[in-house]
Amino acid sequence: MSESLFSDASQRLEQALKYATISEDAIERLKYPKASLSVAIPVRMDDGSLRIFQGYRVRYDDTRGPGKGGVRYHPNVSMDEVQSLAFWMTFKCAALNLPFGGAKGGITLNPKLLSKFELERLSRGYIDAIADFIGPDTDILAPDVYTNPMIMGWMMDQYSIIQRKMTPGVVTGKPVAMGGSLGRDTATAMGAFYVIQALLPKFDRLPGKTTVAVQGFGNAGSVIAELLFHAGYKVVAVSDSQGAIYAPKGLDIPSILHFKNMVKGVQAVYCDGTVCNVVEHQVLTNAELLALDVDVLIPAALENQITQDNVADVKARFIFEVANGPIASGADRILEQRGVHVFPDILVNAGGVTVSYFEWVQNRSGLYWTLEEVNRNLQQRMVQETERIWTIAQDLSISLRTAAYVHALNRLGEALDAKGTRDYYMK
């Protein structure tokens, strides 16, 4: 990719700035991350050898509150990717009116090649390396790609050891027994489901007559597929990293989930199975899934899945971005010109950070909510902000993505300008 991911991400703002109420000072501040950290993490492997892993943490902006963002374990993790994700988190938190700034972290590795002992040593080593950079009032971690509640629990425990006191608020997405919130494991998918349920009726789309393809069958993708299945949508295709399965009459999502869980085994950290082995449906590649003639396409894997190279193949009428940045900016413009409705990641997948906020609040107060309370508050927050962004889009005749950024920029601009602007000082 000739252009960096961050440069591509930054282009999202160009249209929004035409409509946002924001000063030049605020725009200048948002061009750069507040702080970036690159660390080397030494890990003693099970065979006695020593390996060094590259880790990152970026706090992009903390004007509205402490940084907030996940930690991903993936071979493609880089400073450019982490900075881009922290940038998106800044706008996501503002769009949902959460008292957080944007942050992100990651380690470059294939976690499936490490034992559980090695993963624990790596996770604790990462916290050792960044402990002075994070904290419940500074920068709060959460799970992301190939990290999970167990890993978050290790990280919280290690930070508490360093601080010599229990500090549950430094990490969200922890096991419930360690101060985690009920509903956090399904929050990203639940939030996306509430957005879908709020928006598709505006286009007269009924569940029983709406076909759906989901790219990515991890924590978010598998749950959103199951939620849509039970709501009556016809989920015709799903995929994981190995490939996709497709059935025009619809898939039995609970059966596929059962298979994945059976293959994984109760003691495994990661699932080694692939949905391609579930039943004898038509087997596709991930690229072929993106090109299916369906009503709704849900990219729930990694960024840059739809680019200018394959956007012409996309036939879906509606795209809900459950993954972060799955559509490159160039492809986004083409989809808009073709009349495809794209519902942006900074809204659609914000359920995860919203329930992380709820968890952080519970940790600080010592009062813990029921699952019903969590989901009720999540639905209220997601639908409320969805309706506000929808109204902005209709009033200004702009896309939902641009409207979401306008909404976020207005909130960020207000907070940044509260510290003083050129107009204030030059009066």
Gap between the Cα atoms of 336 and 179, Å rounded: 43
Inter-axis angle of helices 400-417 and 79-95, to 10 degrees?
A: 80
Judged on CB neighbours under 10 Å (0-12, 13-18, 19+), 298 is: buried
The separation between CA 128 and the C-alpha centre of its own chain, rounded to angstroms, equals: 25
Residue 73 phi, psi (nearest 5): -110, 110
User: Which of these, 125, 88, 94, lies nearest to 107 by C-alpha position?
Assistant: 125
CA angle 58, 94, 32 (to 5 degrees): 35
Gap between the Cα atoms of 123 and 148, Å rounded: 11
Longest dimension (CA), the chain: 72
Q: Give the residues across from 40 on adjacent strands.
A: 54
Element (H, E) at 319: strand 318-320
Q: What SS3 state is found at 417?
A: helix
CA angle 84, 88, 91 (to 5 degrees): 145
Gap between the Cα atoms of 391 and 312, Å rounded: 29
Residue 360 phi, psi (nearest 5): -60, -45
Find tokens 């992009």 and name the residue.
60
Instruction: Work out the end-to-end distance of the chain between its first and last CA atoms, rounded to an integer number of angstroms.
Output: 46
- Long-range (24+ apart) CB contacts under 8 A made by 163-170 are 163/131, 167/135, 167/136, 168/363, 169/136, 169/140, 169/360, 169/363, 169/364, 170/134, 170/135, 170/136, 170/140, 170/141
Cβ burial 328-363 (10 Å sphere, 16+ → b, else e): bbebbbbbbeeebbbbbbbbbbbbbbbbbbbbbebb
Per the annotation, the verdict on 104 as an active-site residue is yes
Select which of 68, 104, 174, 260 is catalytic: 104
Residues annotated catalytic, as ranges: 104
